[in-house]
Each structure stands twice: as C-alpha cells, then as structure tokens.
Amino acid sequence: MTTPTTFTELVNAILGLIGIIVPVLFAFVFVFLIWKIFDAWIINAADERKREEGKQYAVVASIVMVIMVITWGIVEMIRRSLFGI
C-alpha cells in the first residue's frame, strides 16, 4: 500500500478501508443473529428463559442491521455527492 500524497488519495484510502470493514461488520451481526436464533429456538427450545433471551437478541440484532444499512446508505450518498466516486 502506498502512502497517499493528495487529499483525494487519502479519501480513497479511507473509503477502501471502510469498504472492507463494513461488510465484515454486516457479516458478524448476521452470523450473531442467526446463531442466537438457532441457540434459543432450536438448541434450547424447552427453556422459556432462553427463548425470551433469543427473542431479545433477535430484535436488537435486527435493529442494529437496519441502522447499519441506513448509515451505510447515508455514507454512500455523501461519498457520491461530495467526491463523485
């Protein structure tokens, strides 16, 4: 990786890092959501407390996913309008 010498190169380098980090975060939250649903409703289906905990995790993870998608959309909108990339 080369050192950026202009502002545009710096912005492109930062956007490249963000472009790598964001999909990893999406994948992590998605896997976490799937695991908690599987754990609560399949592995521990007989335990009412675990099912309720699983529901809470599912709601929180779903909200986090929606917030992440909205935030990523805003970042993309700003990136395209300000930097024309």
Structure tokens at 15: 């956007």
Cα 78 from Cα 65, distance rounded (Å): 20
- Assess if residue 37 is contained within a domain: yes
| Confidence (pLDDT) at 68 | 86
Full domain range(s) for residue 60: 26-83
Q: Measured between alpha carbons, how far apart are the two ends of the chain, in Å?
A: 20
What tens-digit pLDDT sequence spans the chain (85 residues)? 678 888 878 877 887 888 888 889 889 888 988 888 888 888 888 888 888 888 888 888 889 889 988 988 888 888 788 766 6
Three-state SS for 84? coil
Query: Total domain count for the chain?
Result: 1
- Assess if residue 10 is contained within a domain: no
- Assess if residue 77 is contained within a domain: yes
